[in-house]
């Protein structure tokens, strides 16, 4: 169902079975896959600096109200956004990204499959984000090492890494596969795979498998117990990712022995 009040450019290419809400604006250079829901007051296909290519939005997306997607980005199937989100130009996004309300992907970003960002997440220009990455609210992936400047040192988030509430990934920070950033931390530089990093400046504490919730007995890596939020075809990839993170457990024992 397409609301009568929606303003859709005649050249926009629309898939089948769309739900398009009231006062939605779809500009010219947009391709929308089948079965997408675009809620009220969204704007798709905003022109940015040096944008030419279309916004290609994969099938099955749910874009919640007041969200803004620029042209010249390619987004895989089943994108899901909160309200008031922004995705800027020249981003390449995989399958089933979830982006919380008020989150902003600044452009020139690469994001893998099944990554999940909560609200108020700011992903700086050029950030490279792997698969199954979690970023919690009020976290920021920075990119300027000498602000303000023309220098760019984008952040890299490895597959399965987790950034907790209110953390700043400093310019050039590289989180290894399955690394875990404690709430309110400010990691910089290379964080090894599976490392837990905390504090400001961020210090490496121990392997992520040592993080446990005492009440439930559940522990990290999160792929051991938190998988039902992903579809069937993602499960084998989670197995591989878990194995990869658990392999790095050894590194921490060795370094502990050496350092004492």
- Closest to a copy of itself by CB, 146 vs 254, is 146
In whole angstroms, the minimum distance from the beta carbon of 58 to a copy of itself comes to 22
In whole angstroms, the minimum distance from the beta carbon of 31 to a copy of itself comes to 19
Candidate list 18, 32, 68, 179; residue touching a copy of itself; CB under 8 A: 68
- Closest to a copy of itself by CB, 59 vs 166, is 166
Q: Which stretch binds a copy of itself (CB under 8 A): 52-60, 114-122, 189-197, 236-244?
A: 114-122
Cβ-Cβ contacts under 8 Å for 236 (sequence gap 6 or more): none
Candidate list 41, 205, 237, 255; residue touching a copy of itself; CB under 8 A: 41
Candidate list 1, 16, 145, 190; residue touching a copy of itself; CB under 8 A: 145
Q: Which stretch binds a copy of itself (CB under 8 A): 11-19, 73-81, 137-145, 242-250?
A: 137-145
Number of chain residues interacting with a copy of itself (CB under 8 A): 64
- Closest to a copy of itself by CB, 57 vs 170, is 170
The Cα-based distances of 214 to 64, 68, 107, 118, 218 in angstroms read 36, 41, 40, 24, 7
Q: Does position 102 bind a copy of itself by CB under 8 A?
A: yes
Q: Which stretch binds a copy of itself (CB under 8 A): 52-60, 100-108, 240-248, 250-258?
A: 100-108
Q: Does position 131 bind a copy of itself by CB under 8 A?
A: no
Q: Does position 200 bind a copy of itself by CB under 8 A?
A: yes
- Closest to a copy of itself by CB, 134 vs 252, is 134
């Amino acid at each position: 169902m397409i609301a009568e009040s929606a303003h859709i450019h005649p050249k926009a290419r629309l898939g089948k079975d769309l739900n398009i809400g009231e006062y939605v604006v779809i500009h010219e250079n947009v391709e929308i896959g089948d079965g997408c829901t675009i809620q009220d007051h969204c704007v798709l296909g905003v022109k940015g600096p040096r944008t030419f290519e279309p916004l290609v939005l994969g099938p099955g997306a749910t874009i919640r109200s007041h969200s803004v997607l620029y042209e010249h980005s390619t987004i895989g199937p089943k994108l899901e956004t909160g309200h008031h989100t922004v995705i800027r130009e020249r981003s390449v996004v995989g399958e089933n990204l979830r982006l919380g309300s008020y989150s902003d992907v600044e452009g020139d970003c690469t994001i893998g499959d099944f990554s999940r960002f909560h609200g108020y997440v700011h992903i700086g220009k050029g950030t490279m984000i792997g698969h199954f990455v979690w970023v919690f609210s009020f976290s920021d992936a920075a990119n300027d090492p000498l602000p303000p400047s023309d220098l760019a040192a984008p952040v890299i988030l490895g597959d399965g890494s987790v950034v907790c509430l209110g953390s700043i990934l400093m310019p050039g920070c590289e989180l290894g596969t399955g690394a875990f950033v404690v709430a309110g931390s400010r990691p910089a530089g290379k964080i090894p795979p599976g490392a837990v990093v905390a504090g400001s400046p961020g210090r490496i504490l121990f392997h992520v498998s040592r993080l446990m919730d005492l009440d439930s007995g559940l522990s990290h890596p999160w792929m051991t117990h938190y998988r039902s939020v992903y579809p069937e075809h993602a499960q084998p990839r989670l197995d591989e990712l878990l194995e990869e993170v658990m392999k790095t457990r050894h590194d921490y024992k060795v370094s502990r022995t050496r350092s004492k």
